Structures are given as structure tokens and as C-alpha cells.
Chains A and B, each alone.
Chain A
Amino acid sequence: MKKVRFSNILIFAFLLCLSFVFLVPIITVLANSFKDKFSISQTPFVLPNSETFAGIENYIKGVNDTGFLSAFFWSLFITVASVAVIVLFTAMTAWYITRVKTRINQVLYYLFVFSMIVPFQMVMFTMSKIANLLSLDNPFGLVLIYLGFGAGLSVFIFSGFVKSIPLSLEEAAIIDGCNTLQTFWHVVFPILKPTAITVAILNTMWIWNDYLLPYLVIGSDYKTIPIAVQYLKGGYGSVDMGAMMAMLVLSIVPVVIFYLTCQKYIIKGVAAGAVKG
């Protein structure tokens, strides 16, 4: 018994050290965001002192240079709208093509699954041209594109779950006089709720952080947060390291808040999404 406890203490100590190692990069960026820009690149591991402390100067400069506030707004809008649209429509599609077994629906299912393994580079050029052509090159059009591009994984996860719902529930609803839409809305969708949370989490993590797709489709008219950060690097010859550090911190803060508030769902969602896959 004693031996077991001792080894557990060792493991605990090891994990504590490792946690610290995992957090060092984030702590370093946070500390550097308060230093003046000339003392960052060469001595990133020195904490700010009275000489190098720059207050919130970097934050003001970064926010102004990149238009961070509008980037935050557009990121939030695009993510929330796309995720809502994806969850609603792909749940409907997945349920329908799983339950109504026609040849077309089966082909559709395999098309959705197929789209999951195709790398974005395969369609990026033609897709951004088509988006231009159809005037989808704005945040609202982007929501439609995300629905199409996210459909593969989401339909796949929903379908896997729909198969495990007993048919008798839906038949009972039909006998009680529900039409197909009512059956879906009042009977099926409530059962799909845990899966909907999984789908929402996975898509949020993807869309919030996505850089290339919004950059190619709408360019820098409506910057999202990743585009704003990259713009800081591309827009000027040499990077203002101070502003960069501040922007990195501001990009991480919303993610950490989201993570700490929804942690239970995120961890469950990731595990559940993987099991279905």
C-alpha cells in the first residue's frame, strides 16, 4: 500500500512540472505583452521591470493597428451564426438521409463522408472564385460556405447517433398526428441534443480559429481575429513585437474564457466526436 502511495506522489510531482511546461509559452507571451517592443525578441524570458515596463501601450497600439475590436465582432458573428446554422441544418439532413433510405440519400451520405478527407487546398481556389461569382464574399455568405464545408463531419456525427434512436418513438409521434417536421422538432431534435453540443463544440473550435478560408473568401475587408494577427506580420516590413504580443494575448483570452466556462462540454464533446468517428 505504501509503495503505491509513494509512486502516486512521484506521478503527481511529474504532472505538476509538466503542467508548468505546458503553461510557460502562454505565461511568456503574457509577460512580454507588458514590455516595450525593443526588449522582447532578445530577452523574452525576463519579466518586465521598471525599465522595460510599457503598461498597456502595446495593447492600445495593437488594437488600433489591426482593428481588433471589429475583428473580434466579425469572428464572433461568423462563428455563432455558422455554428447555429450548421447544427440545425445538418441535424435535419442527417436524420432525413438516415431514415429515408433512397438511393439518392445513400449517395449523399457517402458524398458527405468523402468530403471529410479532402484537404482544403484541393478546393480553395475554385471555391473562392465561386464565392466571388455568387457575391458570397462577405460575412453572411461565409456562413453559407461554412455550412457546406462543415456539413461532412457534422452529418457524419449526427447520422451515427440517429441510428441508435429507436424507430418506435418516431412512429408513435406520426400516429399521434405529427407531420415529418413536427416529428423532427418535437421528438428527434431533443434526443439529439447531446450530439448537437458535440457538433457545436467541434465546429466552434474550427471556425473561430480558421484563417485561410475567410482570408481567401473575403480578404481583409472584414478581418477575423486570425487574419488581424497575420495582418500585423504581413502589413509592415518589420513586426512590432509589442503590438504582436498584445494581440496574441487578446486572441487567447476569449478562447480561455470559453474553455473554462464550457470545459465539461468541450471535453465530453471531443471524446464523443472521436468515438463516433
Chain B
Amino acid sequence: MRTSSKRWFAVFVLPTFIAFCIAFLVPFIMGLYLSFCEFRTVSDAQFVGLQNYIRAFSENSDFINSLWFTVKFAFTAVISINVIAFLLALLLTRGIRGTNLFRTVFFMPNLIGGIVLGYIWQLIINGVLYNYGYSITSNAAFGYWGLVVLMSWQMIGYMMIIYIAGIQNIPTAILEAARVDGAGPLRTLRSIIIPSVMPSITICLFLTITNSFKLFDQNLALTAGAPSKQTQMVALDIYNTFYGRIGSEGVGQAKAVIFFILVAVVALLQLYFTRSREVEN
């Protein structure tokens, strides 16, 4: 079978591979190269070495600020999403009446798109702040917490589903044995449940970290970076560098390369650390 089916490569792999090249592989390689060039369109590129990378940091402090804002946001959002999602998963695996209904409600926001979510929360937050004479763009702290609340509202349900699946996979015999041995609820949680759901924790951390770093739509709709770019995250800063003014496309591409490396390193480090804590069942 091995050799006879090699001929089928064109049928099975080529359509996907061609699309993959057009949408990802070629743009990715070109993007790497162009980050060392000055260009307006992709055909007038001139090699300029590391100049774009230097300009990304030296021209103004937008990039550094957006990096810092993104890291701060991701830190808070990842903790709030995972803690709340895990607690909800614990509550929803106790066989309480209405479990399915609650699960349905908590997951629903996840299906709504980022742009729509952004405008929904803009209305809510501005409505609350109006009573005190503020709006979401009057202070960067409002935008920061607004984004955290929005992101939590969107992602908690998704992570909760993954945690529920993980908790339900724990063999009841182990939980029973722990109870017989006299372990209280906290002890069971620490010694049985958390170690058993480590694979779920790995994947939830991965999804929340990468999604928090890559956040764009919600950021654009909720604050669009206001006030004065203080709530601008990296993805939005890169977008504005590319399309905001002519002549800085190369800088935008250099920022994108740095962004890619940052996301890849953070994601791989996290996978490495949590994977090493997983226990084989």
C-alpha cells in the first residue's frame, strides 16, 4: 500500500498544500524577508538591514507601551478566566439540577464575534461610567478592566467546558478511595482533582494565553486604543503601523516578526512547564 499510494499525493495533499502556500507559507517567508526591507507594496522592497527593528523601538514608544499593556492584560485575563472557569466546572460536576441550562448560558458569549462583543460592552461600561461623569475612553484603567471583563465573559464558558470534560474523566474509584481514606474536599481537590486535570489546565492556559496576546477585534471595537493609544494592544499597534501612515510598512512587518517570536516563545515555555507536570494515567 505504501508505494502504490504515493501516486495519490496530488489528489490528497496538493489542494490543501497550494492553499496553505498562498495563505500562509509564502506570506510568512516574504514577511520575514520584508521585515529587513523598506517597501510600500511588496514589489518595491529595498534591503535596509536591521533598520526597521531599530525604528520599531526608537521612533516612538507605541510598541513598547503596547507590549507592556498586552502583557499586563494577558496576566490578569488568564488568571481570572481560568480560576473562574475551573470553579464553575467544579460546581457543574456535582450533579446539581439545571446543570445543562447553566452550561448553555455560560458558554453562549463565546460564539459572539469580537467586534460585536466590543460594542456590547462599550454600551454597558459607558452606561455605568456615565453616572460618574466618565466614559470608557477617559482613563486607560477603564479600558484595561473593560477588556479583562469582556475577555472573561467571552472565554470563561469555553474553558469551563474543557475543565468539565477533564473532571468527568477522573475515575470515580479514585475519588471514592480518597473519601474512604478520609480526605476532605480541599485535600481531594489538591491531591486528586488538580493533578488529574493537568492536561486540561495545559490546554486552557495555552488557549487563554495565545488568545489574550493576539486580541484584536475586541480591542478595536471597545476602545480602539483610546485614550491616546494607552489601551492599544500589540496586534492593534501593528495594524496601525502598517495602515496608519505610508512609509512605515517595514516597521510594521518588523514589529510583527517580534510579536510572532514573543507569542511562540511564551506558548512553548508554557506548554513545556505544564506538560512536565502532567501525570500519566
> Within A5-38, which residues are at the interface with B (CB < 8 Å)?
8, 11-12, 14-16, 18-19, 22-26, 28-29, 32
With a CB–CB cut-off of 8 A, which chain A residues contact B239? 121, 124, 212
**For chain A, which range describes its interface: under 10, 10 to 19, 20 to 34, or 35 or more residues?**
35 or more
A123 to chain B, nearest CB (A): 4
Q: Does A56 count as interface, using CB distance less than 8 angstroms?
A: no
Is the Cβ of B20 less than 8 Å from the Cβ of A148? yes
With a CB–CB cut-off of 8 A, which chain B residues contact A252? 112, 116
With a CB–CB cut-off of 8 A, which chain B residues contact A131? 22
With A12-B96, A120-B214, A277-B206 given, is the CB distance from A248 to B116 under 8 Å? yes
Q: Does A111 count as interface, using CB distance less than 8 angstroms?
A: yes
Q: Does A49 count as interface, using CB distance less than 8 angstroms?
A: no
In the complex the two chains form, what is the Cα distance from A260 to B155 in whole Å? 18
In the complex the two chains form, what is the Cα distance from A114 to B94 in whole Å? 39
A-B contact pairs, 6 of them (CB 8 A): A12-B97, A26-B120, A89-B19, A92-B16, A121-B214, A146-B23
With a CB–CB cut-off of 8 A, which chain B residues contact A95? 12
With A25-B124, A115-B24, A122-B256 given, is the CB distance from A147 to B119 under 8 Å? no
> Within B212-260, which residues are at the interface with A (CB < 8 Å)?
213-214, 216-217, 220-221, 234-235, 238-239, 242, 249, 252-253, 256-257, 259-260
Is the Cβ of B105 less than 8 Å from the Cβ of A92? no
In the complex the two chains form, what is the Cα distance from A187 to B234 in whole Å? 46
**For chain B, which range describes its interface: under 10, 10 to 19, 20 to 34, or 35 or more residues?**
35 or more
With a CB–CB cut-off of 8 A, which chain B residues contact A23? 105
| Stretch with Cβ within 8 A of B (4 or more), from A65-73, A190-198, A203-211 | A203-211
Which residue of chain A has the shortest Cβ distance to B3 in the bound complex? A100
| Among all A-B residue pairs, the 8 with the closest Cβ atoms | A148-B23, A209-B113, A148-B19, A44-B127, A96-B12, A126-B27, A123-B27, A127-B27
| Stretch with Cβ within 8 A of A (4 or more), from B28-36, B46-54, B72-80 | B28-36
| Contact for B16 among A32, A105, A155, CB less than 8 A | A155
In the complex the two chains form, what is the Cα distance from A64 to B104 in whole Å? 33
Which residue of chain A has the shortest Cβ distance to B235 in the bound complex? A121
> Within B2-43, which residues are at the interface with A (CB < 8 Å)?
2, 4-6, 8-9, 11-13, 15-28, 30-31, 34, 41-42
